[in-house]
A and B are shown apart, each in its own frame.
Chain A
Amino acid sequence: MIILWTDALIYLLILVMLALGLYLRGKEHIKRPLQQIGSSKIGMISLVVLLFFVLIGLLDSVHFKPADDKKNEIISLLDDWATPLREHGEKTYSAPFATKLYSKEMMAMPDGSMQWGYPRLEFGGRHLDDPETQRIRDILQKGFYGLAQGVGLTGLFMMLYLCIPTLRRGNTVRVAPAARAVVNPSTKVVWLVLFIIVPLATTLIHLSAYYHVFGTDKVGEDVFYQAVKSIRTGLVIGTLTTLIMLPMAIIFGILAGFFRGWVDDVIQYVYTTLNSIPGVLLIAASILMVQVYMANHEAAFTSVIVRADMRLLFLCMILGVTSWTGLCRLLRAETLKLREMEYVQAAHALGVKQGAILLRHILPNVMHIVLISVVLDFSSLVLAEAVLSYINIGVDPTSYSWGNMINGARLEMAREPIVWWSLTAAFVFMFALVLAANLFADVVQDAFDPRRSGNE
């Protein structure tokens, strides 16, 4: 097993979240909002979708060298599972579910003559003898088979879920009643979503063994595989950047607002200065720096994937460093307001130390702002990645990302006949992720804002 830098940070993030979960487990005032999220249909639906994305992202974050190492490459668990997808490349573009190439070329006919036409694909629909007549039927058949697999699988899980608690109750062992209480009220919806997502996934997986469900790109690579691989890049850019940005924004913003005076002056100077340097310039400079560094230390960056990972990490860091100012400004303003609130004054009067006031009175009361901006930033960062890829200072051109896919689609849209599937696949995946994140954040915010949760 090989741990890349971004992998390590992702594991760290998960550890932190687990620790936080353990710490907050028994807290009454945390449990109630969680129950509210649990009872919100939209919240649970978007959570399930998000978790699905996260699961794929995590699978794609466990890297190792395959046992039969020929090409000195590092692959992830996801790659291992999707080996056929990865290796079944065509020559160039092909449409979704196509059996023939998208462009004409000279083909050698069985009788030895040469003909100008659309050649059969090497892998897509290879098992068919006569694609024209069998294709639709075959797709439906295989699709249905995949669907049935998914429904069966979900059904099995549901049976297990329903049976195990009864068994346990028989043994008078009750595990995690709190966790069940959190999920219970909208279990139905969760199962409904699972019954949609899992069969959809199995159908796609099953079909992708025989066809290119989202077509292939210019060099003949499967677009479905690309889109799935891009999930990790999107999640990494969205979460790691935030992880880097948040501490700076929160600490500086709150300190500036709370202490005012020279602390405020210094912090304001820092962020106004940083703000007046064009972000693109900083990003370009740091990416070039990394590239130069990697070129000078070639021994440490032997694999393509390690290089791409280093570049991704630096992109996250530099995006984080340039994007904390907006949130910092908001938090400073909010803290300026909060520090005059009477409960802060009462805390002063009670002899509470300043650090404790910051942690107990200021920080929790700005968290809603942090939450909102994190989610908004998450989506805008995913988009920023696309823009940066456009001017070639985004993620490495060899790594998969929706940005790269959309960037490539620029030329494909201008082509005649048009190649629409790369863009569509990237759009659908990105849309699902960003929408789910936005909806979930809304619900979380409603639940954790005491003034609003009181209304319902």
Chain B
Amino acid sequence: MNNPILAVERLSITFNHRQTVVDDISFEIHAGETFALVGESGSGKSITALSVLRLLPNNARLNAEAINLHGDDLLKRSEFELCKIRGRRIGFIFQDPMSSLNPVMTIGSQIEEVIKLHFDLPRDAIQQRVLELLQQVELPQAPQRIKDYPHQLSGGQRQRVMIAIALAGKPDLLIADEPTTSLDVTIQAQILALLKDIQEQTGMALWLISHDLALVSSIADRVAVMQQGKIVETGATAEFFNQPKHPYTRKLLNALPSMQNCLAHSTEENPPLLQVSDFYCHYPIRKGIFKRIVDYVRAVDGVSFDIQQGKTLALVGESGCGKTTLGKSLLNLIPGSGRVVINGVELNGLTGEALRRQRANIQIVFQDPFSSMNPRMLVGDIIAEGIRALHPEVSAEQRKARVRQLLQQVDLPEDSALRYPHEFSGGQRQRICIARALAVDPKLIVCDEPTSALDVSVQAQIIQLLKTLQQEKGVSYLFITHDLAVVAEIADDVAVMYQGKIIEQGGVAEVLTQPKHAYTKKLLAAVPVLKMDH
């Protein structure tokens, strides 16, 4: 191969002089190739990318033999000279398109800003270039949208604008830090295709940073895996996925939920536990001085489904389709209307004390393990809260014993009870949340994307835990997720939701292998699949 565009030699980064986050790594990126840096959260991959542009936080110390861009050592460049390299020679796309755009500037002027910074062009030429860029990133109706503000665009469109900004300097190297993580699967596929397209047109190198091995396998030419600050394995994509050498890589690959697993589920029928029919969740839209109701936001628009005892129903859909609203309104956290029967008891119409008594039947585990626990309560108190509320007759000793037992069930040490939530990692917190839900012996647990904030290997553990608990206690799950691979791993039945309606439901094998509805087919096609020879 020819000379690399970027060559990093023996890079180390330490925080506060003691915590080493990147430990002596070297790698190269060649022209026109897609290089993927893969690792779990906290492995140091984003920091590595930032260090190349010298955008590290103040308490970080960088140590490297060389960071060569076209043989030109960036470490020897002054801050002033680096400003001309950032955006011009190296473009950067951040993870979150919501917060990376200035909300009070039009997208056109934000792109313009970058062009002005790097090229000395007349006004018309700049305008021309902005339009070109927006067309290049395939923003629909580009000429009309130049004057749009970020909030007028959808998440995927914003990410397109971000890419346009990154491309504005005509960079040789584009760094994309988790560019699709906050996007829906179908959008993710579009954005990746776009990146690939642009790369082919311009011949630039693409440095992709991701935690998603399946995604990487479909787009990258070479892959490097980072673990705790070290690159443990590097290789060409085909070789890497077919013969992983390092045990950590193998562990990562094994932890990946696979669509094939759905065939293993049993198909025996259990009596139904929860029956939902004709369920609506409408928010009124009010307008005018008299707050007249002009229309409704139909978040959940007439859905019906059953969940069997001891089984898992996965509710699948993209963001905004109403799946979380549905989950929460089943628990009466959001008002909804329709018939909900659990265990023979009709829930709708119940208020006050009667409703509170029925609360024990359905519990919820939330998506974000960081905001779902009161930071000022001890873990023991958090878990015991439901018992205190619903079974005030239980003595303090019994409660403590129960908490110990629950902690044991979710594989946490007993002394966790006397610690605060912030002392735990994301996966451990999710275990605590599961323990909290289990404390009142629910028949059904609504799991609202419980694993989407977690790393792959932790995700696999949590799913395993949920499965074990189901076998032991016969609890049912309503598993809300956008990740079809996880669905295959855990669900018995699937319901696909689109714009507030359930468009397809059935056994997991049936839906995932022979989808009938066009949307389900599209969703399945968009899921990145590990390209491995089996």
Contact = CB atoms under 8 A, between A and B. Distances in A.
Interface stretch (B290-298, B357-365, B399-407): B357-365
Contact of B375 (A346, A348, A365): A365
Given A343-B373, A345-B333, A346-B372, A352 B385 contact: yes
Interface stretch (A80-88, A109-117, A174-182, A356-364): A356-364
Given A342-B372, A345-B364, A364-B376, A451 B422 contact: yes
Interface in B314-373: 328, 331-333, 356-357, 359-360, 362-364, 366, 368, 371-373
Interface of B: 328, 331-333, 356-357, 359-360, 362-364, 366, 368, 371-378, 382, 385-386, 388-390, 418, 420, 422-423, 433, 436-437, 439-440
A70 interface: no
Contact of B390 (A345, A351, A450): A351
B498 to A, nearest CB: 25
B366 A346 contact: yes
User: What 10 pairs between A and B have smallest CB-CB spacing?
Assistant: A351-B359, A350-B386, A342-B372, A352-B389, A364-B376, A342-B366, A351-B356, A343-B374, A351-B390, A351-B389
B394 to A, nearest CB: 14
A349 interface: yes
Task: Report which residue of A349, A353, A361 has the largest number of chain B beta carbons within 10 angstroms of its beta carbon.
Answer: A349
A343 B372 contact: yes
A349 B376 contact: no
17 contacts: A342-B371, A346-B366, A348-B333, A349-B333, A350-B439, A350-B440, A351-B356, A351-B357, A351-B389, A352-B386, A352-B389, A353-B389, A360-B374, A361-B374, A365-B374, A450-B420, A450-B422
Given A349-B364, A352-B386, A356-B389, A343 B371 contact: yes
A348 B358 CA distance: 12
Contacts of B360: 351
A261 B372 CA distance: 25
Nearest to A28: B418
B359 A350 contact: yes
A350 B374 contact: no
Interface of A: 28-29, 341-343, 345-353, 356, 360-361, 364-365, 450-451, 454
Nearest to A353: B389
Contact of B423 (A348, A350, A361, A454): A454
Nearest to B362: A349
A350 B389 CA distance: 7
B356 A353 contact: yes
A245 to B, nearest CB: 23
Contact of A350 (B332, B375, B376, B436): B436
A347 B378 CA distance: 15
B328 A345 contact: yes
A352 B436 CA distance: 13
Given A346-B364, A349-B362, 17 more contacts: A28-B378, A28-B418, A342-B372, A345-B328, A345-B364, A346-B433, A348-B333, A350-B390, A351-B357, A351-B359, A351-B390, A356-B389, A360-B377, A364-B374, A364-B377, A365-B376, A450-B375
Contacts, number: 82
Nearest to B390: A351
B375 A451 contact: yes
Contacts of B382: 343
Contacts of B423: 454
A29 B378 contact: yes
Contacts of A360: 374, 377, 385
A350 B328 contact: no
Chain A interface mostly helix, strand, loop or mixed? helix
Contact of A351 (B364, B373, B378, B386): B386
B399 to A, nearest CB: 14
Contacts of B375: 365, 450-451
A350 B418 contact: no
B422 A350 contact: no
A29 B373 CA distance: 16
Contacts of A347: 385, 389
A417 to B, nearest CB: 53
A341 B371 contact: yes
Task: Report which residue of A347, A351, A451 has the largest number of chain B beta carbons within 10 angstroms of its beta carbon.
Answer: A351
Contacts of A343: 371-374, 382
Task: Report which residue of A341, A365, A451 has the largest number of chain B beta carbons within 10 angstroms of its beta carbon.
Answer: A341
Contacts of B422: 450-451, 454
A349 B363 contact: yes
Nearest to B372: A342
A349 B364 CA distance: 7
Task: Report which residue of B332, B388, B423 has the largest number of chain A beta carbons within 10 angstroms of its beta carbon.
Answer: B388
B330 to A, nearest CB: 10
A365 B375 CA distance: 8
A342 to B, nearest CB: 4
A284 B201 CA distance: 77
Nearest to B333: A345
Nearest to A364: B376
Contacts of B440: 350-351
A348 B433 CA distance: 14
A129 B165 CA distance: 89
A342 B368 contact: yes
Contacts of B420: 29, 450, 454
Nearest to A27: B378
A369 B375 CA distance: 15
A162 B281 CA distance: 70
A262 to B, nearest CB: 15
A350 B362 contact: no
B286 to A, nearest CB: 15
Nearest to A452: B422
A350 B333 contact: no
Contacts of B331: 348-349
Nearest to A29: B378
Nearest to B421: A450
Contacts of B436: 346, 350
B511 to A, nearest CB: 28
Nearest to A350: B386
A28 B423 CA distance: 15
Contacts of B357: 351
Contact of B359 (A349, A356, A361): A349
A365 to B, nearest CB: 6
Task: Report which residue of A347, A350, A451 has the largest number of chain B beta carbons within 10 angstroms of its beta carbon.
Answer: A350
Contacts of A351: 356-357, 359-360, 386, 389-390, 440
